[in-house]
Structure 1
Amino acid sequence: MTDMPVSVIVVSRGRPQALQRCLTGLAQLQCAQFEIVVVADPQGIATAEVLPFAAALKFVPFDEPNISAARNIGLCHAAGDVVAFIDDDAVPEPYWLALLAAPFGQSAVAASGGYVRARNGISFQWKARSLDGFGAPQPLGINPTCATVLHPPKGNAVKTEGTNMAFRRSVLVEIGGFDPAYHYFLDETDVNMRLAQAGHATALVPLAEVHHGFAENKLRSAARVPRDLFDIGASWAVFQRKHIRPDAQAGHWQSLRKAEHDRLLAHLISGGLEPRDVTRLAQRLDRGYDEGRARPLAHTALPRQPATPFLTFPSQSRKTSHIATRPIHLRKDRMRAAARVKNGEIVTLFDFSATALFHHVCFGLDGVWLQRGGLFGKSDRDQAIIRLHSRIRRVELERGRVATQRGFSHE
C-alpha cells in the first residue's frame, strides 16, 4: 500500500440519487489519506449537502454537458498526489482506493486502473484491456490477484476505464489533463494514448473493483438503449484528428459507422428501438462526426498547485462483518445490517433461498452490501448451474470470493 494522499473526483449531472449512493460507498473506503471532490450540478450538490459527512466533501459547482471539462475542474481542486476517478452511477468496494493507489509507490507508474463489475454485481463489465493505434480495446491476460505494471509497445496504450482509474496528479497536469473537445466518450482513451506516447507506465489492479450501474442519461436509457449518438460521432472525429493518420481516417470511420449501425439493428430486433429511431440515430452520429471534425483542439493549461488545500476525509478503520439470512427474515435482518453500518461497520447481508437462482449483489442507500440468490445457484457465472452446499459452507465461499475487496481478509 502507499501513504500518498489521494483525491477521489466524482462528476455528476442530473443523477442526484446515484450520486448519493456513490458517496455513501466512498464514505466506507478503507484508505489512509484521501479526500472527495464532488463536481456536480445544483441538484447533485443539494442532495450531497444533506449527507451526514457533507462537511468533509469538497464541492465544485459545474453544470455543463462536458465530462472532460468537469474532470479538469475537479483536477484543479484536487490536492492529492494521486487523483482517482469514479462515475456517479458506480460504487467502490471498501478497499478499492487503497488497492488502486498502491502501485504509485513505484516511481515509473503514472496511471492505474481496476476491474469493473456489471449490474448484477458478479459478472465483469470490463477487465484488463489494451488499446491499439485506432483506439480499439483488446483483451489482456494478466494475473487476476495482483497489480501488473505495463509498458505498452509503440503506438499502443493500456486502457483504464473512466469509472475506475487513477493518475499521478503531476503527470496528468503535465500532459494537459482531459481534452474538452471530448464532451462525452473517449475522454479517458485519449488520456491513455497520450500517456503511452509520453512513455509512462500504467498498472492494472484486478482487485481494485467498482460496481457500475450504467444509470440512464441523455445518451442512453437504463437498459443501455442509445438515445443520441451525436457525441459519440463527434468524439471519434476528434480522436481521429489526434491519433490516426489522415489516409486511414475514412476507412476507420466507415468501420465505426457499420459497428454502430449493427448495434442499432440489434436494439431494433430486441424491441428497444423503432425503425424511425434507427434512421434518426444514424443521422445524429454523422452530424456529430462532422461537428467533431471542426472542433478546436488545444492543450489545456492546468495549474500545478491545487486551488484548495487537501481536505482529509475522516475515514475510520471499520470492522467487516456479515449477516446470513433467508428471504423470510430479510426485512428484519436488513434493519440489523443498516444499524451496524451506522455504528461504523462494513456489512454484507447474504440472503440465500433454498433454490438454484443466480446471485446478484447490490449496494443500498443504507450502506449495506446485499447478495441474494439460491443456496445452490451460481455467483460467478462460469460455475456449474447447480452446486450442492451447506448454508455455512456457501457463506464461507462467498466471503472468500470478495475477501480482499471488502475486507474479510483483514478480520
Structure 2
Amino acid sequence: MNHLSVSVVVVSRGRPDALKRCLLGIAQLQYLVFEVVIVSDPSGIKAAQNLPFAADLKLVSFDKPNISAARNLGIVEAAGDIVAFIDDDAVPEPQWLHHLVAPAAQRDVAAMGGFVRGRNGISFQWRARSLDRFGEPHALELEKDTPTILHPPKGRAIKTEGTNMAFRRDVLIALDGFDPAFHYFLDETDLNMRLARAGHATALVPLAEVHHGFAANRMRSANRVPRDLFDIGASWAVFQRKHVVMSERAAQWRRLREGERKRLLRHMVAGGLEPRSVRRLVRRLDLGFTDGGQRDLTPCKLPAHPAAPFKAFPALHRESIQMSSRPFTFRKDLKIAAERVKNGEIVTLMTLSMTAMYHQLALNEDGVWVQRGGLFGKSDRTQPLCRMTTRSRRLEKEQRRVARQRGFGKD
C-alpha cells in the first residue's frame, strides 16, 4: 500500500503539560510517513523543545487566542498530502493515522473524521454526527468497525470533531482553510459546511480513535464549567452570517441562547456556578453575539506551497504488548512498563483488583497506557454492572476490545 504523507498539526496555548502528553502519544503512532507541526505559545514551544525528539518537530510560535488562525499557520507549515488535527489535551491511539487516512485512497474523499473517547478513556465523547442547515449536530448510526463515506444532501454536512479530523491539503488551500472570524468554537463546523457545499465527501472512521480529556482553558474549567461565553456567542453570530438565511436567524439565536442559559443553570444546581455568575455569563454570551455580527469575513488566502519541506518524524516500528498487574505489585510493574516503553514497545499495563470497580484508561507521563479497574467491573459502560470471569479471560477480552486501535497482534 502506498502511504500518503500526513502532517499532524497540534495547536496549544497555556497547556504545556497537556501538550507534552499529547506528543508522547504521537511519538507512538504506527504510520510510515508523517510529520508533526506544533503551533503554540512560548510555554508550549519550551515544553516541546525539552522532549527527546524535539529536533524532529516543526515548531511555530503563536500566542493569540484564535484557534482558526493557529490552524491556518499549521496548514502553511504542513507539507503532507493530508493534514490531520488533534488537540493538545488529546492523545491518539497508536493506529490512529493508519485508520484515519485509509479512506483517502479514494480520490473523492476530501475529509476524514474519527471517534473520540472521553475522560475515562472508555466511554465515547463523540461518535458520528451530521449537521443540519443551522450547523447543529445530529447523531448518525454507522457500522462499528468500518469507514463510511458520506455525501451529505444539500444544506447538510458531515461533522468532523476538531480534535480528530484530517483533510487533503489541496482542498484546505482551495477552501481558504479555517475562517479566523471563529476565534474559538464552530471553526471546524464552518469548514464542514463549506466542504459539503463544494461537493466533497467525508469519511467517518470509527477505529481512528483519540482520547480527549477536556483540559482547562480560558473558556472552561477542568470539570467543564464555563468561564466565559463571549466567543461562543460571537461564533454563532459569524456562523449565522455565513450559513443561515436572514429570516431564520433570530429564532435560532433565541433557541441557542436559552439552551446555554439552561446549561448554566444545571451547573449552578450542581454547585459549579453562583447565580451571579450565571447572569454574568449570559451577558458575555450576548456581548459576543453582538461582536460576531461585526467581525470581518474576508477569506484568508493561504499559500499553495508549504513554508518548509516535509520533515519526517521517525517512524519506529513498535510492538504493542499487554502487561498484567495487581494493586499490590502496581508500582513495581509500572516501572517495568516505563522501561519497556523506553526500549521501543507500546505498553498497556492492566491492573485488576478483586472488585466490580469501573475501568479507566489513560496514557501516563511515561508513555504507558494504564487501565485500572475491577476484575468484575465495567469497561464499556453498556456492559452489565458486574460479571463473573477469570483474570485470564478478562485480560484477553480487554485486549481484544482495543486490538485494532492499539495494534495488538500486528507484526
Q: Distance in 1 between matches of 2:254 and 2:409?
A: 50
Q: 1:57 aligned to 2:40? A: no
Letter in 2 for 1:232: I
Match of 2:34 in 1: 34
Letter in 1 for 2:134: F
Match of 2:365 in 1: 365
Q: Distance in 2 between matches of 1:158 and 1:297?
A: 23
Letter in 1 for 2:100: L
**CA deviation map 1:368-396 (0-9, x unaligned):** 00000000000000000011111000000
Match of 2:187 in 1: 187
Match of 1:6 in 2: 6
The answer to whether the Cα contact below 8 Å between 1:36 and 1:57 also exists between their aligned partners in 2 is yes
The answer to whether the Cα contact below 8 Å between 1:2 and 1:102 also exists between their aligned partners in 2 is no
Q: Tell me the SS of whatever aligns to 1:307.
A: coil
Match of 1:337 in 2: 337
Q: Distance in 2 between matches of 1:40 and 1:361?
A: 27
Q: Distance in 2 between matches of 1:317 and 1:128?
A: 30
Distance apart, 1:300 and its partner CA: 1.1
Letter in 2 for 1:292: G
Match of 1:67 in 2: 67
Match of 1:165 in 2: 165
Q: Give the structure-2-normalised TM-score.
A: 0.99
Alignment of 1:192-211 (within 5 A): 192-211=192-211
Q: Distance in 2 between matches of 1:257 and 1:138?
A: 19
Q: Distance in 2 between matches of 1:298 and 1:82?
A: 25
Q: Tell me the SS of whatever aligns to 2:398.
A: helix
Letter in 1 for 2:330: L
The answer to whether the Cα contact below 8 Å between 1:360 and 1:373 also exists between their aligned partners in 2 is yes
Alignment of 1:228-247 (within 5 A): 228-247=228-247
Match of 1:291 in 2: 291
Letter in 2 for 1:391: R
**Residue segments in structure 2 that go unaligned for 5+ positions in a row:** none
Q: 1:374 aligned to 2:390? A: no
Q: Distance in 2 between matches of 1:286 and 1:204?
A: 34
Q: Distance in 1 between matches of 2:304 and 2:81?
A: 11
Letter in 1 for 2:377: G
Letter in 2 for 1:363: L
**Residue segments in structure 1 that go unaligned for 5+ positions in a row:** none
Q: Distance in 2 between matches of 1:266 and 1:2?
A: 50
Match of 2:216 in 1: 216
Q: Distance in 2 between matches of 1:226 and 1:315?
A: 39
Letter in 1 for 2:228: D
Q: Distance in 1 between matches of 2:364 and 2:383?
A: 26
Q: Distance in 2 between matches of 1:98 and 1:83?
A: 14
Q: Tell me the SS of whatever aligns to 1:370.
A: strand
Alignment of 1:112-127 (within 5 A): 112-127=112-127
Match of 2:142 in 1: 142
Distance apart, 1:262 and its partner CA: 0.3
**CA deviation map 1:38-91 (0-9, x unaligned):** 000011001110100000000000000000000000100000000000000000
Distance apart, 1:315 and its partner CA: 1.7
Q: Distance in 1 between matches of 2:261 and 2:117?
A: 27
Match of 2:402 in 1: 402
The answer to whether the Cα contact below 8 Å between 1:240 and 1:249 also exists between their aligned partners in 2 is yes
The answer to whether the Cα contact below 8 Å between 1:72 and 1:178 also exists between their aligned partners in 2 is yes
The answer to whether the Cα contact below 8 Å between 1:2 and 1:98 also exists between their aligned partners in 2 is no
Q: Tell me the SS of whatever aligns to 1:361.
A: strand
Distance apart, 1:299 and its partner CA: 1.2
Q: 1:152 aligned to 2:152? A: yes
**CA RMSD, 1 decimal:** 0.6
Match of 2:265 in 1: 265
Q: Tell me the SS of whatever aligns to 1:382.
A: coil
Q: Distance in 2 between matches of 1:21 and 1:257?
A: 35
What stretches of structure 1 move > 6 A for 4+ residues in a row? Answer: none
Q: Distance in 2 between matches of 1:320 and 1:270?
A: 41
Q: Tell me the SS of whatever aligns to 1:409.
A: coil
**CA deviation map 1:214-256 (0-9, x unaligned):** 0000110000000000000000000000000001000000000
Q: 1:99 aligned to 2:99? A: yes
Match of 2:348 in 1: 348
Q: Distance in 2 between matches of 1:294 and 1:144?
A: 43
Give the aligned length: 411
Q: Tell me the SS of whatever aligns to 1:29.
A: coil
Match of 2:321 in 1: 321
**CA deviation map 1:238-283 (0-9, x unaligned):** 0000000001000000000000000000000000000000000000
Q: Distance in 2 between matches of 1:297 and 1:44?
A: 29
Q: Tell me the SS of whatever aligns to 2:25.
A: helix
**CA deviation map 1:139-169 (0-9, x unaligned):** 0011110111000000000000000000000
Q: Distance in 2 between matches of 1:320 and 1:225?
A: 37
Q: Distance in 2 between matches of 1:2 and 1:45?
A: 33
Match of 2:130 in 1: 130
Distance apart, 1:409 and its partner CA: 3.4
Match of 1:385 in 2: 385
Match of 2:312 in 1: 312
Percent same amino acid at aligned positions? 63
Q: Tell me the SS of whatever aligns to 1:103.
A: helix
Q: Tell me the SS of whatever aligns to 2:409.
A: helix
Match of 2:21 in 1: 21
Letter in 2 for 1:201: A
Distance apart, 1:2 and its partner CA: 5.1
Q: Distance in 2 between matches of 1:265 and 1:19?
A: 32
The answer to whether the Cα contact below 8 Å between 1:130 and 1:140 also exists between their aligned partners in 2 is yes
User: Relative to structure 2, which stretch is displaced further, 185-194 or 295-304?
Assistant: 295-304
